[in-house]
Structure 1
Amino acid sequence: MHTPSRRTLLSVPLAAAGAGLLSAFAPARSQEAAFVDPSGPEVAAAERRRGSGPVRSFRFTAAESTLDLGGRTVRSWAYDETLPGPLVRVTAGDVLNLTLTNRLPADTTLHAHGVRLRCDMDGTPDVTQRAVRPGADFTYRFAVSHPGTYLLHSHVGLQPDRALYAPFVVDDPKEPLEYDHEWLVVLDDWVDGVRGSTPDQVLRQLHHGGSTAGPYRVLHDSHSRLLDGDGGHVAYPCYLVNGRLPDSPSVFRCRPGDRVRLRIVNAGSETAFRVALGGHTMTVTHTDGYPVQHEETDALLVGMAERYDVLVTAGDGVFPLVALPEGKQGQALAVLRTGNGRSLPSPRVRPDELEGRVVPARSLVPDESVALEDRQPDRELRLTLTGGMRKYDWAFDHRPHDPYRRHPVRAGERVRLTLINATDMWHPVHLHGHTFALNGDNAAGALKDTAVVLPHRKIVADFDADNPGLWMLHCHNQYHAESGMMTILGYLK
């Protein structure tokens, strides 16, 4: 029997799915009980439990745009003709009301990455909603119950490797941190519109092993010590901080001695960044939106779609914030400037802190306010990450994404998820609609929604099944996901 690929799934006429949207898919191949519908009563009940506060309304228009990267102009797809897209900011307890208008020549959606939200607002096409057609719009409306640093992005194909992403900050009405300023730092690897390249051309090159159109962008023989193998397989021509190239960096200004909160977001599609601020140590306070016991570090390793919040006390002068693409050539740069700062640092500056201490996510300890309570798992799921560069056949358990295949869980369960990486490549794996606790040394660790699984290693993570629906689990390397490394966790009725 033919197994539809992700691309095939995205082109399925939804009228054929009926009113039940995706819940109609599972019974055709399974003797198990029906799964919760993304818009079912269980989902509505979970949303009511999140409460209903003030409504905060926003509007995005996704359209073809001309973008200035700071001396280089490119054509791409963007939200409101900006890179990154406009900041969306609400307070925990608010209801977000965001209308997406599609002026692209293709279907699109919007996914609130890392947010525990109602399932039918998750933005996964043909899993939780119908894709938004060209010329149409769709309003995402959901309660936002937890503060943190998040990311909005398209969830259709390789659209996130264009400019279809935006930062999303949820403020804590009882913010415990004390600081003078906030600096939003959005990292990206960029290929779209550079000498004719597009992400889709790059994917074809990865699959076919040669240049099908545009410049050849396949990277060979990269290596990263921190990632224990290849850094990646796409040779990006540009790396950005807040949409700017190193020759024309964004500059953050404050006074010497000011305490600054950096919200660091990796919006890249195929690159992990090692991040350091020259002349400073950083105090890690949050990862993926959730607080941790404060830990000092010289640098951070930030995988795709991971977020870290850190505090720094600004020195006197001009200081480079450098994001080094692991295993790749080039770098991204932004600048911290205080009272006596004058000239900008070199675009190729390499602060010593990049070679200093790097605190891994697995060693972070959750703050007591969010730590997962001790409990034995009710269900265990074991998935193996498979595939390789030669065939570019990334998958879970040697099976590329199949919309008929769901891994069942039940509401109220503590679920233990074991991800075993049987490949030579690292993978940042993301679970929609939930946060999980990384297990290390027999203790529940930091809460995250995206975690790096190193080659031939495994991670064990626990989460509470408290958000009914159908939820994607996938590699956040966009090229791996689009090639099949995705699956679905489904709540049983």
Structure 2
Amino acid sequence: MPAINRRAVLLGSAGGLLTLGGLPACSTSTGTAVTSSSQAVAMAERARRVAGQRTVTTRLVPRPATLDLGGPMVRSWAYGDSVPGPLLRATAGDRVVVIVDNALPESTSVHWHGVALRNDMDGVPGMTQSPIGTNSQFTYDFTVPDPGTYFYHPHSGVQLDRGLYGVLVVDDPAEPGDYDAEWIVVLDDWVDGTGQTPDDVLAALRKGGAGSGGMDHGSMGGMPMGGMGAEMQSPLLGGAGDVTYPHYLINGRVPASPVTLSAKPGQRVRIRMINAASDTAFRVALGSHRLTVTHSDGFPVVPTDTDALLIGMGERFDVVTTLGDGTFPLVASAEGKSGQGLALVRTAGGDVPAPGETPAELRKQVALGTQLRATPEVALRAQEPDRTHDLVLGGSMTKYRWTINGKTFDEAEPLEIRQGERVRLRLRNMSMMFHPMHVHGHTFGLRNTKARKDTVIVRPMESVEVDLDAVNPGQWATHCHNIYHAEAGMMTTLSYRA
């Protein structure tokens, strides 16, 4: 059976020739790898499908585009003429068919972030599919099993740090819908088309740029816009990023020309928040309002009231709030960095908040995903793990090498699991920077709070233990959702074995 080129998986579209099949043989491996082409993957998908299943079909065309960010005009890549890309909407249990026509100058892919879908549709070139070449087409065809707020983006190089992302909402037919309006709010950090590309930024980091991440701290003066900063520190997160950005966006707009979200005073609104950024966590607050967190990464949590919410890269939260009378700033402050995104919430007249408006709520109570608790109906049943894996997170800015268990992805042995096991992952951060760790194809339960998530912040010198049920066969990427850390090696594989 041909081997997956693990170097190609790490580099995505830049990785060159690869073939699909088994994982590299090693002396510690047991059994046969359940790859994306295995019969077990097809059987798992058949089990998800039911008679009379509805099919939702759409098309995505990733291509070069000139984008208006609300004043700044940038040349980037996108799934249309604006960012975010098209909103995709389905109902839990639907079959989703997405035809991707690649009009980019390099190969790409689409990953369906947070969806527990079939392995061969997960969108990781070299692991679950071949890359989609220039002027080529690929059809993603899968069942969406769970309701929630998800998003889609490439898993190829640092393409996520361009305009290639969009939201997938999977509705729950049993949900009461006890709100009057729904808003989708997408947060992003932006550098592409401002004098540098994300590939330029990654190249500069690899040349030895130093900032506030890993064990080495320093500075690299003279870097324009998307350069490295030495002062990116957060009291909540420690080292808060490697890259300074010229723009922070909400729904593709800079603060000087914000999007307006309109409703009536007294209405109850549901806000689906998605952090699509590549290197930035955001502290989010709505001026003069409290927020009630109802869902984390698609799954319900015990409703939790807060003034502000900290959202790591790849995390999604649903909140509800009852709107006051006036015009209010919805602010996404770049945690540990200088700058913010802004949207306006308008229910009546009133002065428009300034682009730099900072609501007092940002400095009050701040909720993190690790503090939320699962509702009883979605909590994993109590069970001791059948298998435990330690994932020790480390790295250095000097060489810009980010590791799991001391190895970069192209050096690492897969983490073996078997169908039906309860698996515990012990995420131990031994670096001085936070890492939002994401597991493909599964949701896990936080051991302490039982909250169901697929992306969790692990703070410096802290540990987070999560449990998952191994019920979705295949080879699944597990990595830091700081895209620059992932590209520099902080990724491994959860490898089902037969």
Task: Provide TM-score, normalisation by structure 2.
Answer: 0.93
- Equivalent AA in structure 2 for residue 222 of structure 1: M
Aligned mates of 1:162, 1:354 — CA distance in 2: 28
How many equivalent residue pairs? 480
SS at the partner of 2:123?
A: coil
Aligned to 1:7: 11
Aligned to 1:102: 102
CA contact (8 A) 1:403 1:488 kept: no
Aligned to 1:48: 46
CA contact (8 A) 2:370 2:456 kept: no
- Equivalent AA in structure 2 for residue 150 of structure 1: Y
SS at the partner of 1:120?
A: helix
- Equivalent AA in structure 2 for residue 347 of structure 1: P
2:399 paired with 1:395: no
Q: Deviations over 1:22-41 (max 9, x none)?
A: 31x32256542111021211
Residues 288-299 of structure 1 correspond to what in structure 2 (within 5 A)?
288-299=297-308
Residues 423-434 of structure 1 correspond to what in structure 2 (within 5 A)?
423-434=431-442
- Equivalent AA in structure 2 for residue 39 of structure 1: S
How much does 1:326 deviate?
Answer: 0.6
Residues 32-181 of structure 1 correspond to what in structure 2 (within 5 A)?
32-52=30-50, 53-181=53-181
Residues 275-290 of structure 1 correspond to what in structure 2 (within 5 A)?
275-290=284-299
Q: Deviations over 1:389-447 (max 9, x none)?
A: 2221101011111277211100100001101101011100000000001111xxx5200
- Equivalent AA in structure 2 for residue 49 of structure 1: A
- Residue from 224, 235, 253 that aligns with 2:234: 224
- Residue from 438, 451, 455 that aligns with 1:450: 455
Aligned mates of 1:162, 1:7 — CA distance in 2: 16
Aligned to 2:390: 382
Aligned mates of 2:428, 2:412 — CA distance in 1: 22
Aligned mates of 1:140, 1:211 — CA distance in 2: 44
SS at the partner of 2:61?
A: strand
Aligned to 1:415: 423
Q: Deviations over 1:257-280 (max 9, x none)?
A: 000000000000000000000010
SS at the partner of 1:236?
A: coil
Aligned mates of 1:389, 1:95 — CA distance in 2: 43
- Give the 3 Å change call, closer, same or farther, for CA 212–48 of structure 1 in structure 2: farther
Aligned mates of 1:85, 1:9 — CA distance in 2: 20
Structure 1 stretches of 4+ with a deviation exceeding 3 A read 2-5, 28-31, 210-216
How much does 1:4 deviate?
Answer: 3.8
Aligned to 1:439: 447
- Give the 3 Å change call, closer, same or farther, for CA 216–138 of structure 1 in structure 2: closer
- Equivalent AA in structure 1 for residue 251 of structure 2: N
SS at the partner of 1:415?
A: strand
CA contact (8 A) 1:201 1:214 kept: no
SS at the partner of 1:26?
A: coil
Q: Percent identity?
A: 49
- Equivalent AA in structure 2 for residue 203 of structure 1: L
How much does 1:12 deviate?
Answer: 4.3
Aligned mates of 2:99, 2:82 — CA distance in 1: 17
Residues 212-361 of structure 1 correspond to what in structure 2 (within 5 A)?
217-227=227-237, 229-338=238-347, 340-361=348-369
Aligned mates of 1:361, 1:437 — CA distance in 2: 12
- Equivalent AA in structure 1 for residue 401 of structure 2: D
CA contact (8 A) 2:85 2:164 kept: yes
RMSD of the TM alignment (CA)?
1.7
Aligned mates of 1:76, 1:248 — CA distance in 2: 19
Aligned mates of 1:8, 1:126 — CA distance in 2: 8
Aligned mates of 1:175, 1:12 — CA distance in 2: 46
CA contact (8 A) 2:61 2:103 kept: yes
- Give the 3 Å change call, closer, same or farther, for CA 127–75 of structure 1 in structure 2: same
Residues 15-30 of structure 1 correspond to what in structure 2 (within 5 A)?
17=19, 21-23=20-22, 25-27=23-25, 30=28
Aligned to 1:207: 206
Aligned mates of 2:339, 2:412 — CA distance in 1: 42
How much does 1:224 deviate?
Answer: 0.5
2:205 paired with 1:197: no
- Equivalent AA in structure 2 for residue 219 of structure 1: G
Aligned mates of 2:269, 2:161 — CA distance in 1: 29
Aligned to 1:472: 477
Aligned mates of 1:8, 1:180 — CA distance in 2: 42
Q: Deviations over 1:346-381 (max 9, x none)?
A: 000010110111122222111122111111110001
